[in-house]
Structure 1
Amino acid sequence: MLFFSCQDNYKRVGDEAQKQMYPRGVAHNFRLVRTKAQKDLDSEDSASSKVIAILTSSVGENYENLSFPHMTFPEGLQVDFFDDENRKSIIRADYGIVYSISNVIDLQGNVIIESHDGKKLETSQLYYDQDNEWIFTQEKFKYTNPEDGTVMDGEGMDFYKDLSLLKAHKTNGLMMIKEEADD
């Protein structure tokens, strides 16, 4: 009787060499409320806090056990955020990642921002820096401002969360100018 044995000396590269990542937990009908204290609190203070953002999603996957902790929202998410006067603006996307260490949210696929005053931004990907309340993208976008009839297309933009301060990189578009008639 003769037996032969083979050894797998093949070095894995590319996709087949990737380590499998499994979430620490999966939450359904996920809701995360981010609050901010109205004033600095002492250890025994019980002052109220203000809601500044609410993140909701049908599924949230927790990868906080990895070296770069994060949460993913593979079925999309919505972020409602509130300004100092408690006016609500909304961000929606098909997919999202919240990075815990940097407090940055990466939104991908049909990203839409609607501000409390009707302004609207549409793009394929953008990032929301929660600490600095700053949003930015390098992708193509469409920005609509119904107050002045502006429709702007472009590529690359960064702005404050309520769309009040915009810095567009490459733009083109249509702006309506109202003229007053002389009688």
Structure 2
Amino acid sequence: MNIIKHMLKSVMTISIVITLFSCESNYENIQKLNLKDGAPIGVAKNINVKYTDSGKVVANLISPLRNDYTNLEFPYQEFPEGVEVKYWNENDEVSTVTSDFAIRYDETNIVDLRKNVVLVTSDSLVLRAEQLYWDQKHQWVFTDEPYRIIFKDGSYNDGAGFDSSEDFTNFLSRTNSGEQLIDRNIDNENRENTDGE
């Protein structure tokens, strides 16, 4: 009888230990099962996030809704109702980008802006596109979609895809056309200065 009691206790102890270990190792899987298929792990409404560097605000992200999918194998955050991002350069000049939809991929630090993307730089350059990728790590922006850049003087450039540094000092357009406004007075002054030398 004692042998049977001892065997039952041993079997019970072993099964409890196995249950504990299997529950612990499957905790993440159980969490995933509790989520509906395709549901975000978290939802935030009316967000206003400020990013700082050495105590100075360098960027401000505003959005009515953020869905958090950082529990997935390729984690991302989705902004289905659009975003507004303001960022300041080293001279404290602000540029703004808005879009109707955005995704930020955590592992690559790439932001995918879609639908009615409008970028207004601190020096009044306006870029309009239906999609724009922003590589935050490499400070690079690019698109394969049609775009229009409107310069401060009203001239413009239409194109079908570009790669550029985020400050637009290194801009490579794949195909483009546009209208350039030239101040003839400046051109004549330059010629006179060259002729007089």
More RCO (CA 8 Å, sep 6+): 1
The reply on whether 1:165 has 2:170 as its aligned counterpart is yes
Give the share of equivalent positions with the same residue, in percent: 34
| Structure 1 residue 35, shift from structure 2 partner | 2.6
Query: Which residue among 138, 142, 147 is the counterpart of 2:144?
Result: 138
| Root mean square deviation of aligned Cα | 1.8
Q: Which runs of 5+ in 1 are unaligned?
A: 1-18, 37-47
**Alpha-carbon separation, structure 2, partners of 1:141 and 1:168:** 10
SS at match of 1:101: coil
Number of residues of Structure 1 aligned to a counterpart in Structure 2: 153
Q: Say if 1:142 and 1:151, in contact at 8 Å, map to a contact too.
A: yes
Correspondence list, 1:1-183, <5 A:
20-36=37-53, 48-147=54-153, 149-180=154-185
Structure 2: which amino acid aligns with 1:30? Answer: I
Which of the pair is proportionally richer in strand? Answer: 1
Structure 2: which amino acid aligns with 1:179? Answer: R
Which of the pair is proportionally richer in helix? Answer: 2
1:151-182 Cα shifts (integer Å, max 9, x gaps): 11010112222333321111001001111268
SS at match of 1:142: strand
TM, length-normalised to structure 1? 0.78
Moved over 4 A (4+): none
SS at match of 1:164: coil
**Alpha-carbon separation, structure 2, partners of 1:133 and 1:35:** 17
Greater CA deviation, 153-162 or 173-182?
173-182
Greater CA deviation, 68-77 or 50-59?
50-59
| Structure 1 residue 51, shift from structure 2 partner | 2.4
Choose 1 or 2 for highest CA Rg.
2
